[in-house]
Structure 1
Amino acid sequence: MKKKNILFLILVLAIFTISAGCAPNTKNSPTPVDAPIESNEEEPEEESEELLLTLEELAEFDGKDGRPAYVAVNGVIYDVTDSQRWSGGEHNGFEAGQDLTEEIENVSPHGVRTLENVPAVGRIVE
């Protein structure tokens, strides 16, 4: 019986010690946990805004002479500049700077699924 009491006492002490170690230390905390953190730094601006381009403006992004390569599909503009398959703004006879909705949906063997691998950067406007 004495052995059981000692084990019980050790268990109670262990639980107490563990729970005391997990409790928040408020003595060294200069501000309440839920107090807002103030900063002198300005908030960073958004990385980039969505591009709004007409089809005529899109034509400038043909991937040639160091220009970015963009293609439009279903009104969404995709940046294919960094895609090895769009080197020089061309891919399997298609050229960047154009609306390729018809070609991607009906001619391309991979369809629109590979567009998930390139960033959408804007949309076409009238």
Structure 2
Amino acid sequence: MKHYTKQQLALRNGQDRPEIWVAYKGIIYDVSISKLWKKGMHYEHWAGQDLTDELADAPHTEKVFEKFMAIGQLT
């Protein structure tokens, strides 16, 4: 799996490039196909970030990431 830095992840925020990526527990997921992540925002969460610490406040579990393709590791 390819490795990406936080800076590279931040560029995939749905604003600067067409990719919409988020990280969770060191894995980067492409959430571009989700209608809930259009324009890089999902409720109060922004794409291009590590959402590991924010999941506790979500109404869903980490199983939500099973819907998306893991495309890399956050280094």
| TM-score, normalised relative to structure 1 | 0.56
Uncovered stretches (5+) of structure 1, i.e. residues with no partner: 1-49
Mapping 1:11-50, distance limit 5 Å: 50=1
Mapping 1:1-126, distance limit 5 Å: 50-104=1-55, 106-125=56-75
- Pairwise CA RMSD of aligned residues? 1.1
Of Structure 1 and Structure 2, the greater helix share is in 1
Give the distance between the partners of 2:14 and 2:2, measured in 1 at CA: 17
Of Structure 1 and Structure 2, the greater strand share is in 2
Paired residues, number: 75
Uncovered stretches (5+) of structure 2, i.e. residues with no partner: none
Change in 2 beyond 3 A, CA 1:59/1:65: closer
Give the distance between the partners of 1:97 and 1:86, measured in 2 at CA: 11
Shift of 1:91: 0.3
Change in 2 beyond 3 A, CA 1:60/1:66: closer
| TM-score, normalised relative to structure 2 | 0.92
